């Protein structure tokens, strides 16, 4: 499988409401950091994440994190 497309070299820091989110793993979504179905045919699949209480989260934007769906600083090495 090819490497994911880098959506941005840094996290998407967002105040996130409780609910179920699908984090884009391929980097092609037009609705970053979340999936819009653009991964079809790429071999990538979105990652489901459930937020139980309102929080400010740093969603990975480079798609190379070792701790998906959150930023771990991997973008600094790209």
Chain segment 22-73, per-residue pLDDT in tens: 999 999 999 999 999 999 999 999 999 999 999 999 999 999 999 999 999 9
Question: What band does 14 get if pLDDT is binned at 50, 70 and 90?
Answer: very high
DSSP state for residue 62 in the 8-state scheme: S
d(CA 55, CA 74): 22
Residue 48 Cα to chain centre, angstroms: 10
Which is nearest to 49 in space by CA: 71, 4, 19?
19
CATH 3.40.5 fits 17-54, yes or no: yes
**Cα distance between residue 60 and residue 62, in whole Å:** 6
Which residues does residue 23 pair with via DSSP β-bridges, in sequence order?
34, 47
Q: Kindly report the pTM of this predicted structure.
A: 0.94
Res 1: pLDDT: 64
Domain boundaries, the chain: 17-54
């Amino acid at each position: 499988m090819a490497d994911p497309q880098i959506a941005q070299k840094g996290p998407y820091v967002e105040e996130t409401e409780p609910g179920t989110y699908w984090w884009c793993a391929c980097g092609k979504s037009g609705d970053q950091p979340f999936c819009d179905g653009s991964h079809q045919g790429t071999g990538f699949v979105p990652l489901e994440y459930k937020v139980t209480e309102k929080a400010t989260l740093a969603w990975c934007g480079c798609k190379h994190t070792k701790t998906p769906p959150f930023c771990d600083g991997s973008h600094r090495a790209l």
